Amino acid sequence: MKKLILFLGITLLFSSCAKEATIFVVRHAEKDLAYKGDDHFRPLNTAGHQRAGILAKRLANEKIAKIYATEYLRVQQTGDSLRINQKIDTAIYSAKTAYFFDKIKHDNMQGKNILIIGHSNTVPEVIRFLGVKFDLKIIPDTEYDNLYLVKMKGKKVIDFKAEKF
């Protein structure tokens, strides 16, 4: 019985010491629809570059420790302004799976604010994987200004907000 009480006490101590962090999740900015090449290399259009700058300003004071972006150019370009201005490391993950959280764990990102940039179909998947009840299956093709904030304490979601930027 003493071992059980000690175990529960230690577990409670460590869970109460867990730091709060916010995971920011966003879809890439507006893409160049006139581009005719490989979709992996489809860049942002002018409006997309402007939106990436707006995102960088919105997140400038959020102490982002790392950016996670898919292998698509437009996704990486969405985070470039923030990455360059704040000197933030970017990790690339496969758009084919949103289950890259082992990489985040390996990078020791628990308790740190991070930005995850994805696609219209992967952003909802990421949000649900974090533990948020999120009914949207795909973000409409015309929406590029949604920013989702998932506040975590340890592995538990303590708040979820959606805003426009």
DSSP assignment of 65-101 equals EEEEEESSHHHHHHHHHHHHHHT-EEEEE-TT-S--H
Q: Evaluate if residue 92 carries a pLDDT over 60.
A: yes
Record the pTM: 0.86
Q: Which residues pair with 44 in a beta bridge?
A: 31
Query: Do 147 and 126 meet the contact criterion of CB atoms below 8 Å apart?
Result: no
Order of strands, edge to edge, in the sheet holding 156-164? Answer: 89-93, 64-70, 113-118, 20-27, 146-153, 156-164
Question: In the predicted model, is pLDDT for residue 2 greater than 50?
Answer: no
Question: What pLDDT score does 106 carry?
Answer: 65
Which of the two residues, 145 and 104, has the higher pLDDT score? 145
Arithmetic mean of pLDDT, 146-156: 94
pLDDT at 1: 52
Q: Is the pLDDT of residue 7 over 70?
A: no
Q: What is the mean pLDDT of residues 19-35?
A: 97
What is the DSSP code (8-state) at residue 40? G
Selection from 20, 39, 28 nearest residue 118 by Cα: 28
Assigned token pair, 160: 């979820």
Which residues, in sequence order, are bridge partners of residue 114?
23, 66
- What single-letter amino acid sits at 123? V
